[in-house]
Amino acid sequence: MTQPSPPSATQLKQQRPEFMLDAWDFATHPAQPLTADFHQAQQRWFHLQRDVPGLAAWLAQANIPEPLIDAVLMEDTRPRFERLNDGFLLILRSVNLGEGEQPEDMLSIRILYYNGNLYSFRRRKIKAVHIIQERLAQQLGPESLHDFLVMLIEEMNNRVEELIDTIEEQLEAIETNDQAATAQRQQQLTALHRRMLRLLRFIRPQLAALERLSADGQKWMEAELLQWLGNERDSCHRVLEDLEMLLEQVWMLREHLQQEVAEKMNRNTYWLSMVAGVFLPISFLTGLFGINIGGMPGVDDERAFWIFCAALSVIAVVEYLLLRRLRFW
């Protein structure tokens, strides 16, 4: 007996609500796409577009309390984990890999595990979720909702680590680029510093959320998946440490560039002072002998000009020797 072929993407799109991007049934292995009866069973994953009308009413039909609906649909959120009577709420941030977007403008994904089903909410496309969707389509995806959660966190951490590696390469390029102007390098450092601060804003609370998830998961998660979750928590901790180290490197490099600028200014000021010191008595004498009044010595002597020039040269040489003797340089 031949098994019926799975419905096509066009048929699924026609049968699902507009806000439902994807739906899978994890009660069987491998997971199967859902086409109908969304509220009739457990062990299902629903991926939802949170800014499409009708989603709040659909969640209410799934008996999800109104405070939780408000929590997953609000605009501004920060990473956190909250234990519920029949599940949990997990809010995370993933790097923005959209075309023309800044990766450090991290995207929010809200994960609600309630009454045996898992709901994920997005506003813009998240690469980590897309990777899992492709694996599910190839029947190589996670085997359970808990496995899905761990895999999602792993893919999100991978994207953040790739971004940190890119930032580290950019910082190293700025540090080794001695040919660029100091002002240009400082501008590049400022832009890089701003990017890392945006990442740090969400990575720190995200680590706290994963730590709470890992601690709470000991009550309901399989031992192997709990170990994988602990690994991903440690990966997030390592990302935070790398980010803090890079911020320290930025400060050190910025101070080094400022020191270079200060030394250059001091050196230029020093030489200007030396030149001014040498020419100060000479300028005084030339100004004095430039007075156009009677009684100036040498006015009637043809050799007076050359004698005066020789005297100025002797004074300049004596000043040079005197300053060198006094170790002014």
265 lies in some domain: no
Please report the pLDDT score of residue 275 as a whole number.
74
Residue 148 in tokens: 């899905």
Confidence class for position 327, pLDDT limits 50, 70, 90: low
Please report the pLDDT score of residue 74 as a whole number.
92
Q: For residue 178, give the 3-state DSSP assignment.
A: coil
Containing structural domain, residue 79: 9-260
Please tell me what DSSP assigns to residue 96: -
Average pLDDT over residues 314-324: 80
Cα gap 8→277, rounded to integer Å: 88
Q: Is the pLDDT of residue 298 over 80?
A: no
Q: How many domains does the chain have?
A: 2
Q: pLDDT tens-digit profile of 150-165? A: 999 999 999 999 999 9
Burial of 113 (0-12, 13-18, 19+ CB in 10 A): buried
Cα gap 30→205, rounded to integer Å: 34
- Judge if 61 and 131 occupy the same domain: yes
Burial of 126 (0-12, 13-18, 19+ CB in 10 A): buried
Query: Is the separation of the CB atoms in 45 and 120 below 8 Å?
Result: yes
Which residues of the chain form beta strands (DSSP E)? 20-25, 32-33, 44-49, 80-84, 87-94, 107-114, 117-122
Average pLDDT over residues 232-245: 96
Please report the pLDDT score of residue 299 as a whole number.
66
**Which of 183 and 14 is assigned the larger pLDDT?**
183
Cα gap 248→266, rounded to integer Å: 27
Q: pLDDT tens-digit profile of 92-109? A: 999 998 888 888 999 999
61 lies in some domain: yes
Q: For residue 299, give the 3-state DSSP assignment.
A: coil
Please report the pLDDT score of residue 324 as a whole number.
73
- Judge if 77 and 170 occupy the same domain: yes
Q: pLDDT tens-digit profile of 36-75? A: 778 878 999 999 999 999 999 999 999 999 999 999 999 8
- Judge if 169 and 300 occupy the same domain: no
- Judge if 230 and 115 occupy the same domain: yes
Cα gap 237→249, rounded to integer Å: 18
- Judge if 22 and 131 occupy the same domain: yes
Domain containing 307 — which CATH number? 1.20.58.340
- Judge if 256 and 281 occupy the same domain: no
Q: pLDDT tens-digit profile of 193-226? A: 999 999 999 999 999 999 999 999 999 999 999 9
- Judge if 307 and 193 occupy the same domain: no
266 lies in some domain: no
Q: pLDDT tens-digit profile of 121-154? A: 999 999 999 999 999 999 999 999 999 999 999 9
Please report the pLDDT score of residue 6 as a whole number.
52
Domain boundary (237, 260, 283) is at 260
Residue 9 in tokens: 């993407």
**DSSP characters over 12-77:** HHHHS-TTEEEEEE-SSSS-EE--S-TTS-SSEEEEEETTSTTHHHHHHHTT--HHHHHHHH-S--
Average pLDDT over residues 277-299: 69
What's the helix, strand, coil split of the chain in %, to 5?
60, 10, 30
Query: Is the separation of the CB atoms in 107 and 96 below 8 Å?
Result: yes
33 lies in some domain: yes
25 lies in some domain: yes
- Judge if 237 and 316 occupy the same domain: no
User: Looking only at Cα atoms, what is the longest distance across the chain?
Assistant: 131
Q: Could you tell me which residues are beta bridge partners of residue 300?
A: none
Query: Is the separation of the CB atoms in 48 and 62 below 8 Å?
Result: no
Confidence class for position 295, pLDDT limits 50, 70, 90: low
Query: Is the separation of the CB atoms in 29 and 145 below 8 Å?
Result: no
- Judge if 218 and 148 occupy the same domain: yes
Q: Quickly count: other Cβ atoms within 10 Å of residue 310's Cβ.
A: 11
